[in-house]
């Protein structure tokens, strides 16, 4: 069974797309959908085993995929990896800056090392990859970039380091959209809300318990899916979005619009879109989805 995308099959035919953090979760889903739409995929991450698995999946589905393992926080590693992939695969048409990560902690409990690690993961690393893709490829070819950020709009308690970094990436997106426009490069962002993805498996039991209680507080009465994020990315990369740049598209179920003055009645009228044919949920993610 192929990926059930809402977009036409050859949308990204003969184009090369780099998806950072493509070895799992949302990045894996995005890589699969863009491959199903005709793109040649490059995925990156720090775990070669995970990357190999996704490359194998895409190949089995009839696509073409390559992997490069490097740390996006390391400037020299980024420069060398981008140089190598362009030499071996070709100019990069699109970049999806998806790699990132954080841990749950209150601001008062975050060490300098912890703060800097999260900021490097979610801001500095994305900047480095985007800069090198521009300098080594897109200055000549043009292209589009989508940065994956997060729902930080009304603060981000227990994730203040990540909220600060994501806010920085949104501003980076706005600035790059202006500075790189004359190269024929569009730069946008997608801000996921709480998504039922493998990234949630990394949190401790206490934070997982909190997540389990959130779905019924959301206007949608459910969490988002990886496919719903991937579809937003595909749209922003495609020609239909050619007049959109410097924008951040919220995919969050209207959670930031919530107010203490109104409680959305219980309902099941906003069903999830699930196009990913290789979805592989953990027991925790299955439990989250069963709540809907």
pLDDT at position 212, please?
76
Q: How far out from the chain centre does Cα 206 lie?
A: 25
What pLDDT is recorded for position 292? Answer: 56
Q: Is pTM, for the whole model, over 0.85?
A: yes
pLDDT value at residue 89: 98
Q: Give residue-wise pLDDT tens across range 276-287.
A: 999 988 887 887
- Which residue ranges make up each domain of the chain? 16-201+224-254
Low-confidence ranges of the chain (pLDDT < 50): none
pLDDT confidence of residue 42: 98
pLDDT at 202: 76
Kindly write down the DSSP assignment for every residue of 30-89, as one continuous string. Answer: HHHHHHHTT-EEEEEES-HHHHHHHHHHHHHTT--EEEEE--TT-HHHHHHHHHHHHHHT
12 by Cβ neighbours in 10 Å (0-12 / 13-18 / 19+) ranks as buried
| % of the chain with per-residue pLDDT over 90 | 87
Q: What is the pLDDT of residue 209?
A: 77
pLDDT given at position 248: 98
16-201+224-254 belongs to which homologous superfamily? Answer: NAD(P)-binding Rossmann-like Domain (3.40.50.720)
What's the CA angle centered on 252, arms 115 and 39, to 5 degrees? 90
């Amino acid at each position: 069974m192929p990926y059930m995308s809402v977009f036409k099959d050859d949308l990204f035919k003969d184009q090369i797309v780099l998806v950072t953090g493509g070895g799992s979760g949302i990045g894996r889903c995005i890589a699969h959908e863009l491959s199903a739409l005709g793109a040649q995929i490059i995925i990156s991450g720090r775990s070669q085993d995970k990357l190999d698995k996704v490359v194998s999946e895409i190949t089995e589905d009839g696509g073409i995929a390559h992997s490069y393992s490097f740390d996006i926080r390391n400037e020299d590693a980024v420069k060398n990896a981008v140089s190598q992939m362009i030499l071996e695969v070709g100019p990069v048409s699109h970049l999806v800056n998806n790699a990132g990560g954080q841990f749950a902690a209150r601001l008062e409990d975050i060490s300098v090392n912890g703060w800097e690690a999260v900021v490097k993961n979610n801001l500095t690393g994305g900047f480095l990859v985007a800069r090198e893709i521009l300098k080594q490829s897109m200055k000549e070819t043009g292209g589009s970039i989508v940065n994956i950020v997060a729902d930080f709009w009304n603060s981000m308690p227990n994730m203040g380091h990540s909220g600060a970094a994501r806010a920085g990436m949104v501003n980076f997106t706005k600035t790059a959209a202006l500075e790189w426009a004359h190269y024929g490069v569009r730069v946008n962002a997608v801000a996921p809300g709480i998504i039922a993805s493998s990234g949630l498996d990394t949190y401790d039991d206490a934070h997982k318990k909190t997540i389990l209680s959130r779905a019924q507080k959301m206007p949608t009465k459910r969490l988002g899916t990886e496919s719903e994020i991937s579809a937003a990315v595909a749209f922003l990369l495609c020609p239909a979005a050619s007049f959109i740049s410097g924008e951040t598209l919220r995919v969050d179920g209207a959670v930031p619009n919530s107010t203490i003055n109104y409680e959305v009645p219980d309902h099941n009228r906003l069903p999830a879109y699930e196009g990913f044919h290789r979805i592989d949920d953990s027991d925790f993610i299955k439990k989250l989805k069963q709540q809907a």
